[in-house]
């Protein structure tokens, strides 16, 4: 872990307001079962986690920011929701095997954990993934290309999962409309 980066994230989460749950989850919430275990990786202030908990899931929310984790646990307790936030460096964490019914990962790209995500899903489990792409129409998201997906890269990051939903519009057509700067994927472990 880069300690400067963690300190920057802690500072960021001290005052920032939570952002709404990710589009990949909100637009496809109908694909969720009634209950189960979920994991929100790089959760930030965990609005994805709270949406899942409201749908009946017991949610583990992982982030490397102590400030974010403390805020999430305080909100979870106040709302009476089953969200347990923990400090985790996902690059050095042992993921439980076939444990989660749902895994959500948004606005975070780390290729080395792809196989851990797949093995941590139960058979029939769903992955909801949304992050920034290198093909962009505005300056949103990380500046470094290594933190952005190459065109169609997300389609091939999780071998063994069946793709249910995929969206990446790039710079085609009227770039003032549509889903730009990001790609999203929902995939099922078979």
Q: Read off the pLDDT of residues 175-190 as tens digits, 9 standing for 90 and up.
A: 999 999 999 999 999 9
Q: What is the pLDDT of residue 6?
A: 86
Q: How many domains does the chain have?
A: 1
Q: Which residues does residue 61 pair with via DSSP β-bridges, in sequence order? A: 40, 85
Q: Per residue in 83-119, pLDDT tens?
A: 999 999 999 999 999 999 999 999 999 999 999 999 9
In whole angstroms, give the CA distance from residue 96 to residue 42: 16
Per-residue pLDDT tens digits for 142-174: 999 999 999 999 999 999 999 999 999 999 999
Q: What pTM does this model have? A: 0.94
Q: How far apart are CA 48 and CA 131, in angstroms?
A: 14
What's the rounded mean pLDDT across residues 34-60?
97
CATH number of the domain at 149, please: 3.40.50.150
- Res. 4: pLDDT tops 60: no
Range of the domain at 9: 3-189
**Maximum separation of any 2 CA atoms in the chain, in Å:** 46
d(CA 41, CA 44): 9
pLDDT of residue 34: 82
Which CA distances in Å does 73 have to 41, 61, 85, 106, 119?
Answer: 15, 9, 6, 19, 27
Structure tokens at 59: 């949610």
């Amino acid at each position: 872990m880069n300690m400067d980066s963690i300190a920057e994230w802690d500072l960021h989460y001290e005052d920032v307001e939570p952002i709404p749950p990710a589009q990949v989850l909100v637009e496809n919430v109908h694909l969720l079962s009634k209950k189960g275990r979920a994991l929100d990786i790089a959760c930030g202030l965990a609005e994805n986690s709270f949406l899942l908990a409201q749908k009946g899931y017991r949610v583990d929310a992982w982030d490397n920011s102590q400030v974010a984790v403390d805020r999430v646990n305080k909100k979870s307790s106040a709302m009476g929701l089953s969200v347990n936030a923990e400090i985790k460096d996902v690059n050095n964490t042992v993921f439980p095997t076939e444990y989660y019914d749902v895994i959500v990962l948004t606005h975070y790209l780390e290729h080395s954990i792809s196989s851990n995500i797949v093995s941590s899903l139960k058979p029939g489990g769903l992955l909801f993934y949304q992050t920034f792409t290198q093909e962009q129409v505005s300056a949103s998201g990380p500046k470094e290309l290594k933190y952005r997906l190459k065109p169609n890269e997300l389609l091939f990051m999780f071998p063994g999962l069946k793709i249910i939903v995929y969206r990446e519009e790039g710079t085609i057509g009227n770039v003032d409309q549509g889903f730009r700067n990001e790609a999203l994927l929902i995939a099922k472990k078979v």
